[in-house]
Amino acid sequence: MIRRTLGSIGVMLELGGDRLRGATGEIMVHGVSTDTRTIQPGNLYIPIRGPRFNGHDYVREAIASGAAAALWGASEGEPPAGVPLLIVDDTVAALQQLAAVYRRLLSTRVVGITGSNGKTSTKDILAGLLSVAYRTQKTAGNLNNELGVPLTLLSLAEETEMAVVEMGMSGLREIALLSTLARPDVAIITSVSEVHLADLHTRERIAEAKLEILEGLVSEGLFIYNADNPLLTGRLAELDPEVERLAFGEAERHALHPTSWKLSEAGITFTVNDPAYGPLFLPMLGKHQLLNALGAIAAARHLGLTPEQVRQGLLRVEATGMRQEMAAVGNLMVINDAYKSNPPSLRAALETLMTLQPHKRKVAVIGSMVELGEESDALHTAIGEGLDPSRIDRVLTIGASAALIAAAASPCYPAGAVTAFGEDERAELMAALRDEAEGDCIVLVKGSRSLKLEALVDELLAYAREREAVR
């Protein structure tokens, strides 16, 4: 993490000496925090004004919790007396500037990753690979926005050799900002899909937003992209011809592609079009993770990893939570994929469910997808029309939009096999899941984070454990 005196931080923020209040510049800062609940001794507290709160109200609390000093927005009125402060024009802009300057002082090589789907898994896979050979850090959790990326950069230890930084967005020019801050040596785009249609309205604008990651790519950097995606490849002719690029995907024409693969509940065994790598194994669920692995392998190879190091690294991947986490109790297997849902990720999760243990009963719990704009109804309906009763035995939906999935699927299913629940009918949904847990089945729980379906997963597993304990 950043370790500097308060005076040095003032210089990094281009502040005059009159902006330092309540202390000398010799105070030592160890890391930063924007949340008083996470303050560590020596942190610089950076208060953020949000729509429902103002972090400036908690400056004294932050100091009492161990913060060494804080920033203070010049428009926030008279700062508290006796508190070590740096006065800045805007605390968010100061956080971003501090991160950008700190990143430029590091010798760390940065990989920036964005995409509609797959960016978190690709981040996790690549960090596992790089950690075999380098001191590596990655974005924690989902800190991938205009606050999260600066916090990630400022959390880097000075001896970190590789940083894997995830970049998300909800509108145009957001990834451009994040990439400019991080200045990636390698930029990866995993996919472009319907996510954020509510904000950007067209798939073409989504592709434009994702390609903004190239704006911060260093001059000798490498652009790695999923070339199976026509929305993305259709824009490549517009790019600077000097940008070095590498395509990956399923098709044989791509520079890196799979030559074979086999899926199981343990993970994916696969080979690529470079025989030096031999058979590889990734302990993650679903064919879509194979494509995420290809993007990560392409970056790792560029950054100097040997085939043997890649093989080792795939085995040490630590996945971010609630993304196809699998748990088994007795005959019940539950897949918790409750962090995020959109059409491509939902289809991938359903495909994963259908490929697992054909002798088991398959149950899909599907929550409403969000941020799909005017196409929301059509996209939910299309999911329902694509469900196969010979491969998924029961469908339980929750939420008004997800009810469209149930309505579209019902004509193809036996009576009672498809049920739609409202968001206020969790108890009824849970009762249906308890009935399913009595048999030999796999339950997929897939939904957007706002539905908090992980609570259903926890309750279902707790019920299954109680049932097993009395058997």
| Range in 85-89, 143-147, 240-244, 396-400 with the lowest mean pLDDT | 240-244
pLDDT digits (tens, 9 = 90+) for 140-186: 988 999 999 999 999 999 999 999 999 999 899 999 999 999 999 99
pLDDT for res 471: 66
Q: Is pLDDT above 90 for 386?
A: yes
Overall average pLDDT of the 225-253 stretch: 91
| Range in 14-18, 68-72, 200-204 with the lowest mean pLDDT | 200-204
pLDDT for res 322: 62
Q: State the pLDDT confidence band at 470, using cuts at 50, 70 and 90.
A: confident
Rounded to whole angstroms, the Cα distance separating 353 from 336 reads 11
pLDDT for res 418: 98
pLDDT digits (tens, 9 = 90+) for 283-307: 998 899 999 999 999 999 999 999 9
pLDDT digits (tens, 9 = 90+) for 424-461: 999 999 999 999 988 899 999 999 888 999 999 999 99
Overall average pLDDT of the 1-26 stretch: 94
pLDDT for res 80: 93
Residues recorded for the chain = 471
Its pTM stands at: 0.89
Is the pLDDT higher at 322 or at 445?
A: 445
pLDDT digits (tens, 9 = 90+) for 84-117: 999 999 999 999 999 999 999 999 999 999 999 9
Q: State the pLDDT confidence band at 250, using cuts at 50, 70 and 90.
A: very high
pLDDT for res 71: 98
Overall average pLDDT of the 217-232 stretch: 94
Give the mean pLDDT of the chain: 95
pLDDT for res 305: 98
| Range in 6-10, 215-219, 266-270, 324-328 with the lowest mean pLDDT | 324-328
pLDDT for res 241: 83
Q: State the pLDDT confidence band at 368, using cuts at 50, 70 and 90.
A: very high
Overall average pLDDT of the 354-358 stretch: 91
Q: Which of 317, 314, 367 is nearest to 339 (CA)?
A: 367
Domains delineated in the chain: 3-94 (3.40.1390.10), 106-314 (3.40.1190.10), 325-469 (3.90.190.20)
pLDDT for res 236: 86
Contact 160, 200 (CB under 8 A): no
Q: Is pLDDT above 80 for 229?
A: yes
Q: Which of 471, 10, 444, 62 is nearest to 265 (CA)?
A: 444
